[in-house]
Amino acid sequence: MATLTVQIADKDKDLLLQILKRFNAKVLGNDTPDINAELAEALKEVKLIRQGKRKGLTLKDMK
């Protein structure tokens, strides 16, 4: 068995997934853009906190 890491354009993702399914391939993860969007949002929040434009989080906020 081999593990591959592939970077392709978003527009080609669905086609590649269909091809891989024909080989009974197991896709381990394909939601990197979602993770990148979440990281970008987190960095914006950190910037606002550092600038004093937003209140920092406390343990009470993480319920």
Q: Could you tell me the residue range of the domain that residue 54 belongs to? A: 10-62
Residue 53 lies in a domain: yes
d(CA 53, CA 48): 5
Residue 1 lies in a domain: no
pLDDT tens digits, 24-50: 988 887 666 667 778 889 999 999 999
Looking at the structure of the chain, the number of domains it has is 1
List C-alpha distances in Å: 25 to 14, 17, 29, 37, 51.
14, 9, 12, 27, 47
Residue 20 lies in a domain: yes
Check residue 25 and report its DSSP letter: P
pLDDT tens digits, 3-27: 888 888 888 988 998 999 899 988 8
pTM score over 0.85: no
